[in-house]
Structure 1
C-alpha cells in the first residue's frame, strides 16, 4: 500500500505572507476557524487526531476563545467586595438630667426708704455704691419745727406729773391706784374724812349718854358725808390728771418721734440675725448696698405722699426668679442644685439651689414659679441681670456614641453595628446631644458602631475595619 505524502502548501503571493510579510492571525469566529483548520497540515494533526474526526477538532477550536482571559478583568473581581470602615465603641456615661430655666436675678432684700416727716434735706451722708449697716444714718432734714414742738410738749407733761407727785407715769392702772393716796389733794380729802368720822362717833356717844343733841349729831353726819364726797372728787381729779398726763406724754412722744424722724437711717430688721445664718460666710460684712439716691441737699421732702430718697438692697445673696412648665412639677424639689450662667461671665458657672416653689400653677401659661437662691459673697453678680440656669433633677447612666455614627434618612435614626465581618443596621432613639457624644437608646453599651464609610453600607454589607 502506497503511503501518501502530504501536499506542501502552495506558495504565498509576494507581499502577502512569508517571513517578510506575515499574515495576520485570523479571528476566532466562523470564518477564522475555517482558515485555521484549512491551514493546519494533516501531518501536524497526527494519526490519533485524524481518527477523532473533524467535529471534535471544531469543538476544541471553538472553546479556545472562552478560555482566554477577557480584557479588563482580574481574579480579585471574582471575590466579594468589602467596604473599609472605622468603628468606635458605644460607651456608658453618667448623664445629669436637668430642667433649663431663664429669668432675672433679684436682690435678697430690696427696700425703698422715705422719711416719715416732711422737710428740707440739709445733709446726705451716703451715695450710690456705698454700703451701710443697720441703723447707720443716710440723710438729715431741717428739724427746727419739730424741736420746737418737743420743747412745748415736755413742760406741759411734766406739770401734770408734778400734780400727781410723779416723775414718770405708772406702768398700769393698778400701780397708780396704789400710788393714789399719796396725791396731795386725795391725802387731804381723806384726812378731812377721817376727822369728820371721828366727830360723828363722838356726837353719837354724847347723844347716847344724854349730854348731846340731835342737831350736833346731824351736823357731824353731814360733815362726814361731805368729806367722803370730797375724797371721791379728789381721787377722780387725780385720775383725770393721770389721763391728761398720759395724753401729754403721747403728744411729747409724737413730737420726739417726729424730731427723730428728721434723720433717715438704714433699717434694722429683726430678721437680720436669721439672714446672717442663711446667707453663710461672705467675703464682705453683711450690709445694705445703696442702689439709688433720689434726693440732694436742699431737696424738699414730703411725708404724704412720701418722697422716695434711697433704695437699698442686700446683694450678698440673690434670688433667681423663674417659671417652669407644669410637666416638670414632679421633678423639681426644694434643695436641688442649680447651675447658673450670665453674659458677663460666659465661661463661668455660678452655684445656686432651689429655695422656694410656688404651690399654684398660673392658668394663663400653665407654669409655676420657683425661687432659686444664689450666693454672691464676692458681689460679681448684679441684681436685675438676666441669667440662664440648669436645675439638676437626677443622674442617669446612658449609652453614648460619636455623633458622626448616626445615620438619618426619611425620619429614621439608625447606626451600623459590627456583627462579625458584616454590619447590622440598628434603629435607635436619640436624646441629649453634645459636640463630642450623642445619647442613644436601643443600643447596648460596648457595641461597636461604624463612624466612617456608612454611605456605602446596607444591612449585611461585608466590611473591613481599618
Structure 2
C-alpha cells in the first residue's frame, strides 16, 4: 500500500468497527470561532474604555492673549451753562420808557439796555440843588456870625487888658466867650448841612444816571422780561429784566458724578458728551473742577464736576442736557486678558463639585462673585477683591493651555474695564491661549 491509500484504509476500518479518531484541537473550527469572539470582545472593551477615558478628560475653553488699549470711563449727566451769566435788574422804581435790545442781541459793556422815565428823578435833582444852595447860604451866615462874635470878644479882652481888669466885668467876658462858641457851633452845623445837601444831590444825580440801565459785560441777551410802559418796582430782591451770557463760544458743562466714581475723576481729564439736539455728534470737553461739596437726592450722593466746552460754531445752547463720558484712566499697548481667565481654576480630581463652583461654571460663574478657593491656587488678592479699576497692581494667576494641559502663570494685574484686564508678566506673551472655562468631557 502506498501512503495515499493508508488514510483511506484507516477510515474504512473506523467505519467498519463503528469508531472515530478525534481531530487535533487546533484543527477544530469551534476553537477558532471562540478565539475570534474573545478577540472581538476584548477589542470592543478596549475601545469603549478609551472612549470613556477620552470623554472623562476635561475640555477647556480658551481665549487668545492680545495687546491693545484699555480705557476706563465715568458716565455722568448734566446741563450746559454759560461761563458767566448775569441777571440785570433795576435799583429804581419807575416806568419803562424805552427798551433798546432784544433776545439774542449782542451787547457791549456799558451799552444802554433800557431807559426809565426820569421826570420824577429830575425834579428830585432840582430840589436837592435848591437844598444845597440854602445850606450854603446858612453856612455863610454862620461864618459871618462867628466872625462878629470873635471880634466882639477880642475888643472886650483888649479893654480888660488896658484897664488892668477893671472893665468890662467878668460876666461880660464870659458872655462874649459863650457867644463865640455858639457861633462856631452854628458854623459847623451849617457846614454839615451843606455836606448833607451835597450828598443828597449826588444821590439824586446818580439815580438819574441809573435810570439808563447798561450792560456790565460783553455778551448776548438770553432772556428779556420788560417792555416799554411796564412799571418797575424796586424791592429788596430786584426783578430780573434781562439775562446776559458773557460769551457763548465758551460754555461750561456741570455734571453730577456718583460718589462711587468721584475718586477717579480729576481736573484736566478728557471727556466727550452728546446732546439730544445732535445725537450723532460727539463734543470734546475737559474737566476743570470737581466740587468737594455734595448733593443728596433720594439718598443718592453726587458731586458736581465742571467741564470746559468749546462752542465756536454756536451749535450748543445754554440749558441743553448732556450725557458726558469722562476718561479717568487710559492705557496704551498693554497686555490684555479676559476677566474670566483671572477667575478660572482647573477642577481638582476627587472634588468635582467644589471645583466646578470655583471654575466659574460658564456665564453665571463668570458673573457671580466667588469666595477664596482652597489652597490659594495662586490667587493673591487684596481683601478678596477683583481687578482694581484704579490701576493698583495685584498678583494673580492665570492658566494657559500648553499641549492640551493647563499650566499656571503668575501675572500682575492693573486696571480693568469689567471685561478685559491689564496684566504684566515675563511668561505670558501675546498669542498664548488663556483658559476661561472648563467643561467635563461628557458634556457635549
Q: Could you state the TM-score of these two structures normalised by the residue count of structure 1?
A: 0.62
For the 8 Å contact 2:289–2:307, the answer to whether it is kept is yes
Match of 2:258 among 289, 309, 325: 325
Matched position secondary structure for 1:358: strand
Matched position secondary structure for 1:321: strand
Matches within 5 A, 1:269-284: none
* Residue 309, structure 1, aligned to residue 241, structure 2: yes
Match of 1:448 among 421, 432, 437: 432
* Residues 1:445 and 1:321: Cα distance change in structure 2 (over 3 Å): farther
For the 8 Å contact 2:223–2:244, the answer to whether it is kept is yes
Matched position secondary structure for 1:446: coil
For the 8 Å contact 2:252–2:306, the answer to whether it is kept is yes
Match of 1:387 among 298, 322, 334: 322
For the 8 Å contact 1:108–1:316, the answer to whether it is kept is no
RMSD between superposed Cα atoms in Å = 4.9
Larger Rg: 1
Give CA deviations for 1:4-48 in whole Å, capped at 9, x if unaligned: 5699xxxxxxxxxxxxxxxxxxxxxxxxxxxxxxxxxxxxxxxxx
* Residues 1:387 and 1:425: Cα distance change in structure 2 (over 3 Å): farther
* Residue 102, structure 1, aligned to residue 51, structure 2: no
Q: Which runs of 5+ in 2 are unaligned?
A: 8-20, 41-49, 345-359, 368-397
* Residue 419, structure 1, aligned to residue 387, structure 2: no
Aligned residues: 364
Residue 116 of structure 1 is matched in structure 2 by: 91
Matched position secondary structure for 1:116: coil
* Residue 400, structure 1, aligned to residue 336, structure 2: yes
Give CA deviations for 1:196-224 in whole Å, capped at 9, x if unaligned: 211221222xx7xxxxxx5xx135x5544
For the 8 Å contact 1:418–1:447, the answer to whether it is kept is no
Matched position secondary structure for 1:186: helix
* Residue 143, structure 1, aligned to residue 92, structure 2: no
Report deviation, 1:409. 1.8
Matches within 5 A, 1:228-239: 228-239=177-188
Match of 2:206 among 252, 257, 264: 257
Matched position secondary structure for 1:134: coil
* Residues 1:135 and 1:425: Cα distance change in structure 2 (over 3 Å): farther
Matched position secondary structure for 1:411: helix
* Residues 1:359 and 1:297: Cα distance change in structure 2 (over 3 Å): closer
- CA distance in structure 1 between the partners assigned to 2:84 and 2:231 by the alignment: 27
Q: Which runs of 5+ in 1 are unaligned?
A: 8-50, 70-77, 167-179, 208-213, 269-286, 462-466
Give CA deviations for 1:171-198 in whole Å, capped at 9, x if unaligned: xxxxxxxxx9xx3332232222222211
Report deviation, 1:238. 1.1
For the 8 Å contact 1:121–1:298, the answer to whether it is kept is yes
Give CA deviations for 1:229-267 in whole Å, capped at 9, x if unaligned: 222122111111122222222321222222122111122
- CA distance in structure 2 between the partners assigned to 1:147 and 1:157 by the alignment: 15
- CA distance in structure 1 between the partners assigned to 2:441 and 2:140 by the alignment: 114
Report deviation, 1:66. 7.5
* Residue 300, structure 1, aligned to residue 231, structure 2: yes
Report deviation, 1:357. 1.5
- CA distance in structure 2 between the partners assigned to 1:135 and 1:245 by the alignment: 33
Matched position secondary structure for 2:83: strand
Matched position secondary structure for 1:117: coil
* Residues 1:91 and 1:367: Cα distance change in structure 2 (over 3 Å): same
Residue 409 of structure 1 is matched in structure 2 by: 362
- CA distance in structure 2 between the partners assigned to 1:317 and 1:349 by the alignment: 13
* Residue 197, structure 1, aligned to residue 157, structure 2: yes
Match of 1:289 among 186, 209, 220: 220
Report deviation, 1:293. 0.7
